[in-house]
Amino acid sequence: MPGITLGDTVPNLEVETTHGKIKLHDYFKNGWTIIFSHPADFTPVCTTELGKMAAFQLEFEKRGAKLLAFSCDNVQSHNKWIKDIEAYTPGCKVTYPIVADPKREILKQLNMVDPDAKDSSGNELPNRALHIVGSDNKIKLSLVYPATTGRNMDEVLRALDALQKVSKYKVATPVNWKPDDPVVISPAVTNEEAKEMFPQGFETKKLPSGLEYLRFTHV
């Protein structure tokens, strides 16, 4: 697929949004940013997703993360659509910006189009891409769904928690990890180093191979 991927730097594009013009690198400063695309305004799955993002916004903000949505319609359309989103998800307010990209030029650069899905004019349709971007402007995580599959915002929040955890310690998060669960120590860390890094201790699982690579700890 064209465009950026995991580990790449997001280009410093100037985009038109419901909050005015924004330079992406300025927006990414001092924290984490979740950028996510949607096929079109006034469509059913997109309406449910943007409403749920608004409902989760406080949780993202507690973790120092901002939201930035992308869609292939213009700002006027976005502003009208926001009323439907807020009506569908009572109590939520869409206070995060929505980028306008009628020509799909930005979406292509950000790897947010589905090359196999086209509209009646033959233009590629946006997919449901989501990138978590660090303050260094690099993509730390990507999730890409087809237009027909809505995203799980609990998983987006869990993934953000995992990224923030491993950015602080030499650990990784095992299958189905969630906050307060134990993490695994990086294989690059020796047992002697682990004793210094994790004075609270760690548990090494006994395996048939006899190798001591599965070490759990709490951080």
The CATH number of whichever domain residue 213 belongs to comes to 3.30.1020.10
Q: Is 163 within the bounds of a domain?
A: no
Do residues 147 and 114 make contact, with C-beta atoms less than 8 angstroms apart? Answer: yes
So what's the pLDDT on residue 54?
98
Set 24, 35, 46, 159: catalytic member: 46
Same domain for 60 and 91, yes or no, is yes
Range of the domain at 205: 169-217
> Which residues of the chain register pLDDT less than 50?
1
Q: Is 162 within the bounds of a domain?
A: no
92 is catalytic: no
Which of residues 151, 186, 206 is at a domain's end?
151
So what's the pLDDT on residue 117?
74
Q: Is 29 within the bounds of a domain?
A: yes
Q: Is 55 within the bounds of a domain?
A: yes
The C-alpha torsion from 20 through 23 and 41 to 50, rounded to 10°, is -100
So what's the pLDDT on residue 2?
54
Number of folded domains that form the chain: 2
